[in-house]
Every structure is written in structure tokens, then in C-alpha cells.
Structure 1
Amino acid sequence: MNEFTINLRRVMLLEGTLEHGGSATCPLRRPETIVDAHIQVENDDRDHHLQVRFGPFTGSITLRRGDSTKYMSLRDFLQDVANGRTESGQQIQRAIALMEALDYVSQVLPEGLHAYITPTTDEHRPFGTVVTNDQGEVYATAYGSCKTALAEAVRTKLGQIPVGRGEHP
């Protein structure tokens, strides 16, 4: 399973923020990355009104103050948004995939080159990149089916030897 998760114990640590209002940050994890959920809580006599932000994407939920299951509901909501099971969550998933692709491609670039990642409309190669130098001159463009394939395509276009093919340090 490769989904973002948050344990209920971590969500229970938000009790003070839920009861008194304010803001908190809560990490969601999956094996290769961690994303912080920035939570803003406003209360009224009956409800907790939460705005959650994952990078540039937001979601909101209203929880009843007296509901004994509100922490489980909050955990489920955070996981749903982070894992793309809501409209804003799908945007977050795409943004995270692009950030991870940028990290992978950047690792294969020689000093002085920079990658710019973009989504494509090709479902078989959803990642695209342009590699430039500090002056903005294009050194390579590539497409890939995943972050690893994209990094390998860039490496090939730049004439580098692929990792794990017998090269010596």
C-alpha cells in the first residue's frame, strides 16, 4: 500500500486545537515522502469548522463539537484529501507526483542545470521536463511514464551513463 496515512494517536494530539480553535500542523506519511497538513480551526457553539491546506490545495470539513467520533472523521478526511479520494485530493496527488519527479530529475543533473517539470496530456507519459542552464538555454526535453523513467530519459538526453550499468565512480 502506497497511501498517505496518519495514525489516530497523532490526530488525537489535535484535541487542544479542536477544542480551543487556532492552527496546527500534522504530518501524513507514506514510505517515500511526508506531507504536512496545515489545519486552521474556528469554533462556534455547535461545530468545529476546519480548513486544511496541503501545499496550495485546501479542503474543509465541519465536525460536531459533541461527536465522539470526530477524531476518526478528521483522520479519514485528512487521508482522503491527501490520497486523492476528493477533488482537491486528486490535485494534491498530482502536485506531489510532480514534486517527486522534480526531485528525481534534479538528482541526475550536472551542476548548473535546472529541471522544470510539467504534467502532460499523454496518459502513458504523464510527466514532461525541460532542462536549462542558468541563462535559460534549453539543454534537453524529455517525457516519462514515472519519475524514474523521466530521470533516465533526461540522463540519456544529456549523454550520461545510466546508473547501475557498470560505471565506476
Structure 2
Amino acid sequence: MSEFTVPLRRVMLLQHTLEAGGKAVCQVLRPERVFDARLEIENDLRSHHIKANFGPLTASLTLLKGDSSKYHLLRDFLQDLANGRTESGRQSAEAIAMREALEAINSVIGPTRMAYISPTTDPERPFRVIVLDQLGDICARTKGYSQDELVETVRSQIRRVDERLEGLA
């Protein structure tokens, strides 16, 4: 039996609701089954307060507004709930490595771009990174094993995009 997952595109769709507050439904998938997670999000000046319902199961999470990995933390939280791991505070080595890689990538892409990181099924390249610009266009993407490898590939791709844009100006 495979685990439930929240696809990256679903997390990206939740982004607006997380920022604006309100209610949303997010599908949590596995090949043979789909669950709807019902979310209620309330915001204050510093944080997002999330309440999630999976049928009779209810849990809550608070995320800081300035945390660059909050979308990934929301995805992990929903996946943990769907898979019966309610102790979301305990992070795996993979989750820690992904968070550190995301922070390193965010330090090189600049404030006008948004990076997303997710696991893959490839043991030799277990992490996938996608970087979007303000319009939602992909300006970098890669798979890799280590934080340094991901950062260098993204930095190189971003540099090429920036050089092309400078050539057009």
C-alpha cells in the first residue's frame, strides 16, 4: 500500500488561500484512493492558523508568515495527517535536508522568485526543485542529491535567464 501525497500543484493552489485566509479543499491522493482535506485558515499579523479536517480527524498547525518553507510545511502536515502520522513535529532526515536545501536555494534566487522542492522516487536524485518567476513561469528546474548540487544548478539556470533578460533590454 502506498502513502497518501499532496501533489506540488495542489500546494501551489493553496498558496492564495494561505495568504488570504478562508476555506479550501485539498485532495490528498494515493493510487487507489482520494481524500478531501477541508482547511480553514485564519491569519493574523505574524502567522497563519490552519485547521484541517479529514472526516472525523481534525488537527491544527500554525505557520509564521515570513517562513519561506511554509508551503512545504503545510504539504508535509497534510500528508502526515492522511497517513496517520499525527506527530508532525517530528521531522525525518529527508524533511530536514529538503528544508535546508530550500533555504539555500532561496538565498540565491532573489526576492522576486519562488522555489518549490519535493521528493522524487529516484534514489540517486531524491529531490526536485522548481523555481518560478512573478508570472508563474518556470525559470529553473532540476533534480539532485545534495543541497550544493541543487543550489549550483539553480544558480546556473537563473544566471542564464537573467543574462537573456538583460540582452532583451
Structure in which a larger fraction of residues adopt helix: 2
Q: Quick check: which has more Rg, 1 or 2?
A: 1
Q: TM-score, normalised by structure 1?
A: 0.50
Give the TM-score of the pair, scaled to structure 2.
0.50
